[in-house]
Amino acid sequence: MKQTLVGYDQWHLYLAYNLNAQGKYALAQPLFGKALEICRRLLGDNHPHIATSYNNVASNLNAQGEYAAAQPLYEKALEIRRRLLTDEHSDTATSDDNVASNLNAQGKYATAQSLDDYEKALEIRRRLLTDTHTPLNGHGRIRRCVNGSPSTPRIHCRFWKRRH
């Protein structure tokens, strides 16, 4: 019998996404955590949905300003995606960007830049998407933030991360 997530973690996710959209991040946090727990129980640790669940928890922590707590979760999502999807997948590029963006939010600009995660993410997206695609343009904005472009204030970085 094929196991499905519908009916198990979906309602946790829908409610968590709804609360997040309302800016009620603290209320959404345990729901994202529960969805991750259910997903791990049903699928194990070797499934792309697990990486997405780790990313959801990390993104919620990030939205609450808990950057240090989010970092290992973003890194876990990246590790899973690299292992299961390869470095050339757009979801892996998203995780590369999330790791570097979170380091940037912690003020670890040199570490974020040295990882080249922004550049990797941008290069993958350039190959997979066209230059007029909105997330691609957003990555350029984020990359300029980490490179210290005075024309792009840091608040742009924070706004972009919450939108994607």
Q: How confident is the model over 39-86, as pLDDT tens digits?
A: 898 889 889 999 999 999 999 999 999 999 999 999 999 999 999 998
Model-level pTM greater than 0.85?
no
Considering only residues 99 and 110, tell me which one the structure prediction assigns the higher pLDDT.
Answer: 99
pLDDT of residue 138: 47
pLDDT of residue 115: 63
134-144: average pLDDT: 43
Percent of the chain with pLDDT over 70: 65
Q: Are 54 and 73 in contact (CB under 8 A)?
A: yes
DSSP notation for 50-116: HHHHHHHHHHHHHHTT-HHHHHHHHHHHHHHHHHHH-TTSHHHHHHHHHHHHHHHHTT-HHHHHHHT
pLDDT of residue 5: 52
**Domains in the chain, ordered, with CATH?**
48-59+67-163 (1.25.40.10)
Residues 10-47: tens digit of each pLDDT: 788 889 999 999 999 999 999 999 999 988 988 898 89
Q: Which of 69-73, 92-96, 148-152 has the lowest mean pLDDT?
A: 148-152
Provide the pLDDT confidence category of residue 90 given band limits of 50, 70 and 90.
Answer: confident
Task: Compute the Cα dihedral for 36, 43, 118, 18 and give only its sign.
Answer: negative
pLDDT of residue 1: 34
Closest CA to 124 of 164, 96, 99, 104: 96
